Amino acid sequence: MQGAVDTILDAVGRTPIVRLSKIGAELEASLFAKCEYLSPSGSAKDRMARALVDAAEASGELHPGGTIVEATSGNTGAALALVAAVRGYKCVCVVPDKIGPEKIASLRAYGARVVVAPSAVEPDDSRSLRSVARRLAKSTPNAWFANQFEAAAGPAAYAASLGPEIWEQTGGELDAVVVGVGSGATAMGLAQFLKAKKPELAVIGVEPRGSLFSELARSGRVTAPSAYQLEGIGSDFVPKILDLGRLDALLQVEDGEAFRTTRDLVRLEGLYAGGSSGAVVAAAVAWARAQGGPRRVLAILADRASAYSSKIFDDAWMRENGFLPDEEGLGTVRDLLHLKGGEGVITAKAHDRVRDVVNRMKAHGISQLPVMRDDALLGAVAEVDLLRYLVSGESSLDGHVEPLVESHYATASLDTRIEELQAALAEAGMAIVVEDGRVAGIVTKIDLIDYLARRAS
């Protein structure tokens, strides 16, 4: 029949670009959305999954009747399961325990076997997502590990399909593309193609607050991540295919802001996109506002909303997690710092001597200090770090404090809600409040307890 394609895989791509008319309407910039959630399996990952399987078939790594194994937060798994269903492969998806039931149900609908792994473990833990996937790939006869975080075919797929498609649709009339960063494949592919066409075009990456990419880009250090609820973007390790130097900026978005923007996308714009899409649009608005001017900004809406109906679009779940608080809520970090009062933020420089840092902490009666390199946050040093250093037998009070800097802290903004701060402090000893690139405050668990106690009295 004229106009028909041979399989659903031939329908991947050609997703529309839509102008946002309400979200960001106050800006001088024009915001647009690339609706990748309209792809057959519901996400931009269809482009990559098809390319990964094509490459594995061509190389002989994947044989007829074989099994595709992958570690996934759901979207890449669904895309691979779709390819497997069409081409006659089996599929095993290892997913984190925080994903919603809709994603698991869709994977099983394609015929995939789903294995759930804990998300609150270190990346090299034998129970982690990738460790379990690698083990299953080795123990399963005739299996192939897709390994989206290391496969060069991933970025190449987006450079060969999504990039040219955007260029053709926009005629190159574009100033910035804003894209979520998880494995990094989409961002790297877009940067490769679009910057070759227009070097001044900005490629802006987006991750959840709590992920480690922003700190790595800023300081060159791999820090300990903190918990976040966003799925599909962000990471607790650095994928091999990701080169942060190819991005013009990397923005962090808090869970609550991402989820509320996701709901706005559906209710105000009619765009049935998922949580990472909300994060990308929130970041696009923030970037356009900060830059000013009549820029043309394209946000990549990577997956669909139906995968989150029991979470982001459930008012009870949103309230339970502090993302859609009751009328008053518990306030924000701004309220906490105002109530806390006291002097400004005390910091240390990376080249400060240990003895000077000890004296500063003693003089101000504080147990931890942010450490700065130039004007950038390097990390933090706490009493326990100094104690460990001084009893090591290799200590020198005249040594620089930089080697003692640790990364076990959360970050927050002045507008972070107390409910979200509480979740962050459950895993970290303190939260460093960063606003417009500067350290605006330090919040510890006792600060939070004091704020809540004083508020309740």
Catalytic annotation, residues: 45
Which H, E and C letters describe the chain, residue by residue? CCCCCCCHHHHCCCCCEEECCCCCCCCCCEEEEEEHHHCCCCECHHHHHHHHHHHHHHHCCCCCCCEEEEECCCHHHHHHHHHHHHHCCEEEEEEECCCCHHHHHHHHHCCCEEEEECCCCCCCCCCCHHHHHHHHHHHCCCEEECCCCCCCHHHHHHHHCHHHHHHHHHCCCCCEEEEECCCCHHHHHHHHHHHHHCCCCEEEEEEEECECHHHHHHHCCCCCCCCCCCCCCCCCCCCCCCCHHHCCEEEEECHHHHHHHHHHHHHHHCCCECHHHHHHHHHHHHHHHHHCCCCEEEEEECEEHHHHCCCCCCHHHHHHCCCCCCCCCCCEHHHHHHHHCCCCCCCEECCCEHHHHHHHHHHHCCCEEEEEECCEEEEEEEHHHHHHHHCCCCCCCCCECHHHCECCCEEECCCCEHHHHHHHHCCCCEEEEEECCEEEEEEEHHHHHHHHHHHHC
